Amino acid sequence: MKGLLAGALVVAAASCGGGTPDARYPERHAGCAVKTFPAAAEMPVDDLGPVAVDCDPGGGSCERKLLDAVCARGGDVAWGLGDNALTAAHLTAHAGHSKRVAGAGRSRGCAVQAFTEAPPMQTENVGEVTAICSADDSRETCLRELEDQTCLLGGDVVWQVQGPAPFGDKQRMRGQAAHSK
């Protein structure tokens, strides 16, 4: 009975509070882009706290596992990586998110430039965007919804646009919202 109660408490504790320490920065997918620094971050960041991982010898990239932990906290910056030994099986770093140049969200219908690849100008990413559209919506209608999601995040560029692709009885488009510098 005590074991069952302890297991229930672990499950309850794990489900409280969500996965990120700052609601402005939702969890990002494994493999997300993370800017790394061996010592202090050389840019303004919102600190999301320390992350640590234990790695198995020969079990893949331990550093990528650490960066995935930064992504899971909503981060796009990791610093303090130089404090880890080259052969360490336990890595630590500080997770953070770059401070955004984009201000508050913009209204739906704002001007947005869309690209299937990297944009030709310098940008600052402000978040991933997804548009869920009706199965009979045109690509242009679904793209406009993706652009509107970009506007709401304060962006004026959406790049790495994918889709629309079937998503249940609807269709989905994805992209990376950014603000031009």
Number of domains observed in the structure of the chain: 2
Residues 53 and 94 in one domain: yes
The domain that contains 153 carries what CATH number? Answer: 3.30.110.70
Q: Could you tell me if residue 106 is inside a domain?
A: no
Residues 83 and 127 in one domain: no
Residues 63 and 35 in one domain: yes
Lookup: tokens for 108: 């739906």
CA dist., res. 67 & res. 75, Å (int): 9
Q: Could you tell me if residue 40 is inside a domain?
A: yes
| Count of beta carbons in the 10 Å neighbourhood of residue 128 | 17
In the sheet that holds 77-79, the strands lie side by side as 35-37, 77-79, 90-98, 45-54
Sign of CA dihedral 72, 95, 93, 122: positive
CA dist., res. 116 & res. 109, Å (int): 20
Residues 124 and 78 in one domain: no
Residues 52 and 84 in one domain: yes
Residues 25 and 89 in one domain: yes
pLDDT digits (tens, 9 = 90+) for 122-175: 998 888 888 899 999 999 999 999 999 898 888 899 999 999 999 899 999 999
| Count of beta carbons in the 10 Å neighbourhood of residue 82 | 11
Q: Could you tell me if residue 105 is inside a domain?
A: no
- Mean pLDDT, the chain, rounded, equals 82
Residue 69's domain comprises: 21-98
Q: Could you tell me if residue 103 is inside a domain?
A: no
State residue 103's pLDDT score. 57
Q: What is the pTM of this model?
A: 0.51
Residues 133 and 79 in one domain: no
Residues 133 and 164 in one domain: yes
pLDDT digits (tens, 9 = 90+) for 98-129: 876 545 678 899 999 999 999 999 998 888 88
Report cis status (omega within 30 of 0) of the bond before 26.
no
